[in-house]
Amino acid sequence: MAVKPSTVSWPVKMKYARWVSDDSPLVPFLFIAPYLAFFIVFTVYPIIQGMVIAFSDYDLIAESSRFIGLANFEAIFDPQNLFVKSLTNTVKYVVFGVPVFVVVGFIIALVMNSDIPGRIVFRSVFAMPFVINVAAMSLMFLWMFDSRVGIINYYFMKLGLPPQEWLSHPTSALGVIIFVSLWWGLGGVYLPFLAALQDIPQEYYEAAAIDGANSLQSFRYITIPCLKPTMLFVTVTQVIAGFQVFGQVLLITGGGPANSTRVVLQHIYDSGFQFFRLGEASAMAWILFLILMGITVTQFRLMQR
């Protein structure tokens, strides 16, 4: 059977070949197209939809909505609403917790970067809690801090100390949440510091030693300046993570006692999925987003000085 000659002209073939060749300007877009599609569907679209819901009385059951302007934003600042209290509790957690996370993570990184016996094992031990599920971790500490059968109070009584109601007092309950978060997230804090410490050229320290600098001066004028970008990264990520604390609070204290540990993400969850006030939940989420954006920009500008 005779082969039918192609009816596509030669200039058209050359144009098609140029667009599918390796140096085609479309090739980079083809590689990122799958990620871009997921990013648009699962990130950009929910953000836009959340903004629409924040200005409407969206009904999850009836799937209907009506534009109501700023009514949701006015409602969440009502004295009867716990949004301001939960936001205040979250700020307390960030103010008291993040400095502890950064300082302890930095100290652990310095120790793990020194020449101590078994440091490979210790590095794994400090990083392992980071991969534990938040539910399993929270249940473990819930048992440990139990006032009647908890192991913490067991050793307190062994030392002759009275048992403590760890989760029944606002101050100690917040302290327990900070301690649990530190234990759980220590790997995510100290590993960036450790990687940055190992990336500092040893020639800097050798040159400083030749010039007569002692260990403290080398630490102040070499280690700290070289770790400044990492310090910014860890601080920003920990502040963002602090404002998003949720799982351990919900499972260990449930926001109690008397809403003293109720955090903003828990309040958004309750408003949206317990009381089905999705409009208010979206409004709170947008306020939280603007707060985090403002804090992040401020931190970047302060660290760049």
Q: What percent of the chain has pLDDT over 70?
A: 91
Which of 5-9, 71-75, 163-167, 252-256 is least confident? Answer: 5-9
- How high is the pLDDT of residue 281? 92
| Residue with more model confidence, 197 or 28 | 197
Q: 44 vs 36, 58, 229, CA distance in Å?
A: 10, 19, 29
Residue in 102, 279, 297, 245 with CA at minimum distance from that of residue 253: 245
Q: Summarize the confidence of residues 229-238 as an average pLDDT.
A: 90
Verdict on whether the full-model pTM lies above 0.85:
no
Query: Chain-wide mean pLDDT for the chain?
Result: 87
Whether residue 287 has pLDDT greater than 90: yes
Query: Under a CB-based contact definition with an 8 Å cutoff, are residues 87 and 292 in contact?
Result: no
97-121 pLDDT, tens digit each: 999 999 999 999 999 998 888 888 9
- How high is the pLDDT of residue 57? 86
- How high is the pLDDT of residue 220? 92
Copy the structure tokens of residue 170: 């606002």
235-248 pLDDT, tens digit each: 989 999 999 999 99
Q: How confident is the model at residue 10 (pLDDT cuts 50, 70, 90)?
A: low
| Residue with more model confidence, 20 or 93 | 93
Radius of gyration of the chain (CA): 27
Query: Under a CB-based contact definition with an 8 Å cutoff, are residues 248 and 181 in contact?
Result: yes
| Residues 6+ away with beta carbon under 8 Å from 242 | 90, 93, 94, 97, 98
Residue 229 CA, distance from chain mean position? 18
3-class secondary structure, 218: helix
- How high is the pLDDT of residue 21? 64
- How high is the pLDDT of residue 300? 76
How far apart are alpha carbons 149 and 154 in whole angstroms? Answer: 7
11-52 pLDDT, tens digit each: 665 665 666 566 677 788 888 999 999 999 999 999 898 899
45-87 pLDDT, tens digit each: 998 988 999 999 887 777 778 888 889 999 988 888 899 999 9
How far apart are alpha carbons 45 and 49 in whole angstroms? Answer: 6
3-class secondary structure, 56: strand
- How high is the pLDDT of residue 275? 87
Whether residue 163 has pLDDT greater than 70: yes
Whether residue 201 has pLDDT greater than 80: yes
Query: Under a CB-based contact definition with an 8 Å cutoff, are residues 232 and 238 in contact?
Result: no
